[in-house]
Structure 1
Amino acid sequence: MPMLSALTVAAFTLSLLVPPPGFSVEVLSVSGEGCPPGTAQVAPSPDNQAFTVTYSDFLVQGKGSEAKKTCELQLRVNHPADYTYAVEATDYRGFAALDAGTTGIKKASYHFVGHGPTRHITNTYAGPMSDNWQATDKPDPGKLVHGPCKQKKPLRIVVELRVKGKSGFMSMDSTDSSVSAKFKLNWKKC
């Protein structure tokens, strides 16, 4: 598993009071300009109720043209065969410094490999801005897409940061270096 400094954190928490026994997380792949080799890591919490994805180099800067960076993670959430899960809610945070006439965009999607996307979210921030940003994605409970029960398909998470316009940057970090994207999981008995 790659090692790195903690600038951005994504914590995944369960919506059950107690996760199913045997819950763990395995990193299958990490790729993209937003997370070059060695700049992303996943670690489950000691109580198995969360896991953390840490990024150390997810920043996009534009000056007079459009610039973007993406990070794609493929994770296997290991759990008993009689359970499955869905991404119930996601909180993203970061920092943006955007001049007037500049726009910062954060896009995210996640799905189970081999199945259609479970959800897309786009958040837009307009300059002038020099501040932390936060975005929450919480679909209607009836629109949650749970993974297949018998096949443990990897969870694919793709996050994109984009800057368009005069000048500025956007990052999945903050001035205090403790910003997170939190993915809450909804467990279901098969």
Structure 2
Amino acid sequence: MSSSEDGGDSLDFQLFSLDTVLSATDSFSAANKLGEGGFGPVYRGKLVGGQQIAVKRLSGKSGQGLKEFKNEIILIAKLQHMNLVRLLGCCVDGEERILIYEYMPNNSLESLIFDPIGRKLLDWNKRLKVIEGIAQGLLYLHQYSRSRIIHRDLKAGNILLDAEMNAKISDFGTARIFKQNESSNTKRIIGT
């Protein structure tokens, strides 16, 4: 897939069929639902080869739409950093707009911090590791990626934790790319 809006760069990710997504998520079963954000519900899935995935499905009543969907694909498909969630692909079928990500087994930072049992998993060393991971991800976005990117919706719910409790920044639907010499003022209120 390529984008003419972003200089014609080729984006390297997979296009999934709706049948593959339905099979992986057991037709978006409630048992596989991980949560819901501004974009819509997120489901756990498993591909035929056994790889676990997170499936983010654009809701019809979402405040976000095609613009945010395309923005997230264009931004995150180009970004490669250990503290950013990895986009594996997408599915566009009729009205369906679906993003497929690597699965984060420890859910979000928010789900652990505000849960009496979950917060016990985050001792001070793990909390420091999470903070350092977030800082490294932001440093990459702001200074070291090919484009200067401001997330604009960074919150505990958008910090996901992998199996080793490494922090990964997610949800780039409202992010904005700035030119290197452009001011980072965004001109309108966005995010949470």
Question: Do they superpose with TM above 0.5?
Answer: no
Q: What TM-score do you get using the length of structure 1 for normalisation?
A: 0.30
- State the structure with bigger RCO (CA 8 A, min sep 6), 1 or 2: 1
